[in-house]
Amino acid sequence: NAGVTQTPKFQVLKTGQSMTLQCAQDMNHEYMSWYRQDPGMGLRLIHYSVGAGITDQGEVPNGYNVSRSTTEDFPLRLLSAAPSQTSVYFCASDSGRNTEAFFGQGTRLTVV
Amino acid sequence: AQSVTQPDIHITVSEGASLELRCNYSYGATPYLFWYVQSPGQGLQLLLKYFSGDTLVQGIKGFEAEFKRSQSSFNLRKPSVHWSDAAEYFCAVTGNTPLVFGKGTRLSVIA
For residue B26, pLDDT beyond 70: yes
* A99-108, B17-26, B39-48 — most confident range: B17-26
> Mutate which of B44, B51, B100 to disrupt the A interface (most A C-beta within 10 Å)?
B44
Q: Which residues contact A87 (CB under 8 A, 6 or more apart)?
A: A36, A37, A38, A109
Residues of A in contact with B51 (CB under 8 A): 98
Residues of chain B whose C-beta is under 8 A from some C-beta in A? 6, 9, 32, 34, 36, 42-44, 46, 49, 51, 90, 94-104
Look at A54 and B98; give whichever has higher pLDDT: A54
CB contact under 8 Å between B103 and A40, yes or no, is yes
For residue A1, pLDDT beyond 70: no
**Interval A85-95 mean pLDDT:** 95
Read off the pLDDT band of B53 (50, 70, 90): confident
**Interval B69-98 mean pLDDT:** 93
What pLDDT, on a 0 to 100 scale, did the predictor assign at position A97? 64
Q: What is the pLDDT of residues A29-74, one digit of tens each?
A: 999 999 999 998 999 999 999 999 999 999 999 999 999 999 999 9
DSSP chain A: ---EEEE-SEEEE-TT--EEEEEEESS--SEEEEEEEETTTEEEEEEEEEETTEEEE-SS-TTEEE--SSSSB--EEESS--GGG-EEEEEEEESSTTS--EE---EEEEE-
